[in-house]
Amino acid sequence: MPKPTMGELRNQAIDKRNSIHAEIEAEYAREAQAEDARFDAEFDRARDEYERIRARPRPDHALPQEVRDRKLEEADRKLDDELKMLYLAHSIDDNRYN
């Protein structure tokens, strides 16, 4: 078997280096793609959540307003009853409380 020439040994070393570089580049590409996929998934979740929240109508506060109105009416009724009792206790005629 003939002894390889310096040019052939150099070409083999270059091929070996190129092979190692290709493996490193392939691993980098896989990791970068996985990182991009994780980022995209997180971004998609955030976008979907934003769109869900944005599509929801603003609250109209109907239930709390109804409760507030009932409580105000009850407070007014109690005050009217109290005032009526005061007017009656002092024998004062007032059409608002009769």
My answer on whether 52 and 80 are in the same domain is no
| 94 and 65 part of one domain | yes
Instruction: Report the number of distinct structural domains present in the chain.
Output: 2
Residues 88 and 68 in one domain: yes
Q: Are residues 77 and 45 in the same domain?
A: no
Same domain, 18 and 37: yes
Together in a domain, 17 and 48: yes
pTM metric for this prediction: 0.50
Contacts of residue 97, defined as CB under 8 A and 6 or more positions apart, other chains included, come to: 80, 83, 84, 87, 88
* Paired tokens of 61: 């506060």
Pair 46, 1 in one domain? yes
Q: How many CB atoms lie within 10 A of CB 45?
A: 10
20 and 43 part of one domain:
yes
Range of the structural domain that residue 20 is part of: 1-56
pLDDT in tens, 63-75: 999 999 999 999 9
User: Does residue 67 share a domain with residue 40?
Assistant: no
8 Å CB contact between 97 and 80: yes
Confidence of residue 97 (pLDDT cuts 50, 70, 90): low
* 10-64 confidence digits (pLDDT tens): 999 999 999 999 999 999 999 999 999 999 999 999 999 999 999 999 889 999 9
